Amino acid sequence: MAYDMTYDPNNIFARILRGEIPCDKVYEDENCLAFNDIAPKAPVHVLVIPKGAYVNLDDFHAKASDAEIAALIRAVGTVAKLKDLPATGYRILSNNGEDAHQEVPHLHIHVIGKRDLGGMVGKPKG
């Protein structure tokens, strides 16, 4: 099933970006915001998001400027460094669409670390 690529301006991360609901900020620059995940899966679990309105990576790939794309990857690297992850290793991932169980329809990169993260891909539910 195809999922909706229309950006919902009331999604939770859009509301965080507008300051309507709080977040535990880790890093911010002109193009990106990074904050701790509300339900962390590891001792470090940060979400890095572009400030622009992009549903997911496909939308970002199609519409974002080169500067925005570079800024997102740079922000991910900065967050890893701020959290002292390069020494021990860490995982970045982005859930895109239905099969990946994307819950929040605003592009976000998970930065996860500070424990053994096990294998890469889980089993299907059910």
Residues within the interface to ligand 5GP (CB under 6 A): 12, 23, 35-39, 47, 95, 101-104
Which residue lies nearer to ligand 5GP by CB, 23 or 71? Answer: 23
Backbone angles phi, psi at 81, to 5 degrees: -70, -45
Beta strands in the chain (DSSP E): 25-28, 32-36, 44-50, 90-93, 109-113
**Least CB distance from residue 63 to ligand 5GP, whole Å?**
19
The residue whose two tokens read 């992009």 is 54
* CB nearer ligand 5GP, residue 85 or residue 107: 107
Task: For the CB of residue 12, give the shortest distance to ligand 5GP in the complex, in Å.
Answer: 5
Give dist(CA 106, CA 51) in Å, integer: 9
Q: Compute the least distance from the CB of residue 98 to ligand 5GP, in Å.
A: 11
